[in-house]
Amino acid sequence: MPISGPVVHQQLMDAYSQTQALLESVRARITEATQQRDQLDDTRSESLVKLAEFYLPDLTPESIRATWVEVQPAMSQVFRRKQQQCDHLHTELTKLDARRQTEDATLLTINHDLDELIESQKQLADQVEQQLRQDGPFVELADRAAVAEAALERAEANLHEIEQDSARKLPAYEASTLFKYLQDRKFGTAEYKHRGFTRRMDRWVGKMVDYNKAKQGYDFLKKTPEQMRQIIADDRQSLDVVMDELERRRDHVAAGLGLPAKIEANSAMQRRRDDQIRILDKLIAETNLVQSQLTEADDPRGTYYREAIDLFRNMLQQIDSRDLKRRATSTIDLTDDQIVAQLMNVEAKVGSYDEAAQQHQNETLKIQAFLEDMGRLIQQFRSAGFDSARSQFVGTLDVPMHVNRAIQSGNAEMLWSEIRSAQRWGPTAMEQITAVATHPMTQVLINAMAHAAGGALQEHARRAGRRRNTQDRSWIQSGGSSSGRGSDSSWGGGIRW
């Protein structure tokens, strides 16, 4: 059973939220690993104090502890600022998520209203078409337009053929020296004035090249295309007269049923949807920025961490590990050997926790990148109109499964490919797509003409309507005014394509 566009849209939004939750859980593991490492740092600090007390008998333990007290507040201040920044970014992220959920809900409401407007417009358009098909003069005009279109198509085909024929044959005439000689002398016309021997020689040349027949062929190839173009232009003008009357009758019926107002309401709702999508796109961009800032702030090896490490190193800058090991070996007392061994053990554990934290950080960056890709995917989904109720997806589409696979591979493009290949348009939407460059009022006229003409003339009537639509669009795009070019231009402030 097909899955509707709004359902898949909701699944994607749920997947976005779940990916955010996954990102937070990975960040929590980073925090846990960082805390465990901090505990080891505390143990190492205590060991260093003990070692200092052993190696510096001339300094009292109170003095050593005083030195630590002086440094620790600065380090604590760095971590407090880091925590404050993370808390601030978490708060901002919560606000953005709340706003996004609100705007998502608004978009769903707009989509629902737009679907209803489109369906209502379709029903009104069907009623307009039905009334036009029952209008005797409209049916007669549709038949006339179809017949005129058929004749026009034949004339255009003939013109194309003669133009090709002219392009192929005229160079031979132009290259004939004797033919051009007689033509330049205006041989065979009243303008030819030569007498005596010259006239006799020209006649002899004319018989040799069969000039009269060649001149007829040349004139036909030279003049006929322009004559045919003029005839076609006159035929098009005549067809326009019929189309003007067809459009006038359509406009009268459409106005009576309220179709123009419905079209304008539809356009206004579509503009509102576009504005809403821009709001959501901005929110996603802001969310991605805050996520990136939070990842940087929460990184155990990020800016704040490096600042704290610098303070810690400054505190221990006079202690060298090689000196510690050498001094421990050179003394008889085993106390310092035990402290150094404890320090080595702590440093080994610190390395393992650093490695774990780095793995978690790499995973965080991967998930964050995927989250940004998911945001862009949802933007594409909405821009393509896939979130509309008119959009359908094959029943076998399993969005959660494809999302999980995409997270594992870190490739959101694969997810988009699966979604796009599973997407289908319903009947109503297919008509919209087929007529993507056609104003709704023009589409009403085309459908009504096709059904009114019927039989063998049906397709010609449809093409007559399309020809008018194409001419109007080309004329308007070339800089013309829409007034006076058929009634389409009078609805909703002008034709929109």
Question: Is 266 found in the same domain as 218?
Answer: yes
Q: Which residues pair with 423 in a beta bridge?
A: 393
Report pLDDT for 68. 36
Vertex 343: Cα angle to 338 and 344 (nearest 5):
95
For 126, the 3-state DSSP assignment is helix
Per the domain annotation, does 407 fall within a domain? yes
Q: Are residues 339 and 280 in the same domain?
A: no
In a domain, 485, yes or no: no
Residues 11, 156 within the same domain:
no
Cβ atoms of 115 and 390 within 8 Å: the answer is: yes
AA letter at 493 = G
Q: Do 271 and 378 sit in the same domain of this protein?
A: no
Quickly tell me which residue has 């201040």 as its tokens.
77
Instruction: Tell me whether residue 453 is in a domain.
Output: no
Tell whether 186 is covered by a domain.
yes
Within a domain: residue 411?
yes
Q: Residue 430 falls within a domain, yes or no?
A: no
Backbone angles phi, psi at 133, to 5 degrees: -65, -20
Number of domains in the chain: 2
Domain end position, chosen among 396, 418, 440: 418
263 and 120 share one domain: yes
Tell me which of 299, 321, 352 is where a domain ends: 299
Neighbour count for residue 186 (Cβ, 10 Å) = 12
Among 246, 278, 299, the domain-final residue is 299
Secondary structure of residue 424 in the 3-state scheme: strand
Model-wide pTM > 0.95 = no
Alpha carbon 32 to chain centroid distance?
40
- Residues 35-94: pLDDT tens digits? 666 666 666 666 555 544 443 332 222 332 333 344 456 666 777 788 888 899 999 999
Whether residue 12 is contained in a domain is answered as yes
Predicted pLDDT of residue 328: 59
CA atoms within 13 A on the CB side of 163: 11
Both 26 and 170 in one domain: the answer is no
d(CA 350, CA 347): 5
In this structure, are 370 and 283 located in the same domain? no
Q: Where in the sequence is the domain holding 134, given as residue range(s)?
A: 89-299
205 and 281: one domain?
yes
- Specify if 189 maps to a domain: yes
In this prediction, residue 46 carries a pLDDT of 62
| Nearest CA among 318, 325, 317 for reference residue 343 | 325
Report pLDDT for 483.
35
- Say yes or no: 114 and 35 in one domain: no
- Position 52 scores a pLDDT of 43
Specify whether 202 is located in the same domain as 244.
yes
Together in a domain, 274 and 380: no
Which residue type, as a one-letter code, is found at position 408?
Answer: Q
What is residue 188's predicted lDDT score, i.e. its pLDDT?
A: 76
In this prediction, residue 300 carries a pLDDT of: 62
Which are the contacts of 325, defined by CB distance < 8 A and separation ≥ 6?
Answer: 340
Task: Find the helix packing angle between 335-383 and 399-409, rounded to 10°.
Answer: 130
Task: Quote the tokens at residue 495.
Answer: 């034709």
Say whether both 41 and 131 belong to one domain. no
Show pLDDT as tens, one digit a residue, over the chain (497 residues): 788 888 888 888 888 888 788 778 777 776 766 666 666 666 666 655 554 444 333 222 233 233 334 445 666 677 778 888 889 999 999 999 999 999 999 999 999 999 999 999 999 999 998 998 888 898 888 888 888 888 888 888 888 888 888 888 888 887 888 877 777 777 777 777 788 887 788 778 778 878 788 878 887 888 888 888 898 888 888 888 888 988 898 999 999 999 999 999 999 999 999 999 999 999 999 999 998 888 888 776 677 766 655 555 455 445 555 565 665 576 666 665 666 666 666 666 656 656 666 676 777 778 788 888 888 888 888 887 888 887 888 888 888 888 888 877 777 788 888 888 888 876 544 344 344 446 778 887 788 777 777 666 777 777 777 776 665 444 334 443 333 334 443 333 322 22
